[in-house]
Amino acid sequence: MILVVLRSSLFAAFQLLLTPVFAVIALLTFPLPALTRYRIITVWTRWVMWASRVICGIRYRVVGAENIPKDPCIILAKHQSAWETMGFQLIFPPQVWVLKKELLRVPFFGWGLAMLSPIAIDRSSRRQALQQLVEQGQHRLVAGFFIVIFPEGTRIAPGKRGKYRAGGARLAVQTKTPVLPVAHNAGLCWGKNAFLKYPGLVTVSIGPLIQPDGDAETLARRVEDWIENEMQHLDAR
């Protein structure tokens, strides 16, 4: 445990030193095209992921990488920790995330995040948030970005199951965009809001594309069924 505390402390110090520097770099990329900004700013992610592997001993493997399409799609994924928000950037093509707008106010981190063209919604107004999701989601897809959505809406502890929302499925149906379901067990190494990071192997399992046939509720259930069934396999391993 002492080694875990030391490693986690060193990792936190690394992030603390790196993030303000890249926040400034991110702001300087403002005049550049969105995809160019993404490639520059996400160098921060590559450094943090490198540190999580070298310092904390968190490795990862991908199952089903052949299912990732060439054209942009909507990624609906399990949400357990902050790890996947960074790990996905190394696994999938350029992407944007649907997130709560309050995150953009976080000093340094939020400033850099704002330059990555996220879909920052106001959760207090559900109807307005859905309209914003569809309008901005269509724009991001046309611009060449994949869209990452965590349908449970918040981080869920390993072995638990949250309530799946149909917003991502509605976006898929209205834009006629396929959905890529993703399961993973990152929470075993990097817990929700946890300072301690434990060494281990994160498995990211990518399912086959699901076409947006039928209504949003049916699509949402198909996605939920695949993710939760796959989570049982990951937990069993």
- In 3D, which of 185, 182, 183, 181 has the Cα closest to residue 158? 185
List pLDDT tens digits, range 146-167: 999 999 989 999 999 999 999 9
Per-residue pLDDT tens for 166-193? 999 999 999 999 999 999 999 999 999 8
Tell me the angle at which helices 216-236 and 167-175 cross, rounded to the nearest 10 degrees. 120
Give 165's DSSP letter: P
Say what the pLDDT of residue 189 is: 96
Domain extent for 63: 2-236
Q: What total of structural domains would you count in the chain?
A: 1
**Residues in a beta bridge with 141:** none
Confidence check: pLDDT of 127 > 80: no
| CATH number for the domain harbouring residue 35 | 3.40.1130
pLDDT of residue 101: 85
Q: Left (φ > 0), alpha (ψ -120 to 50) or beta: where does 117 sit? A: left
Q: Which residue has the tokens 């875990």?
A: 4
237: pLDDT confidence band, cut at 50, 70 and 90?
low
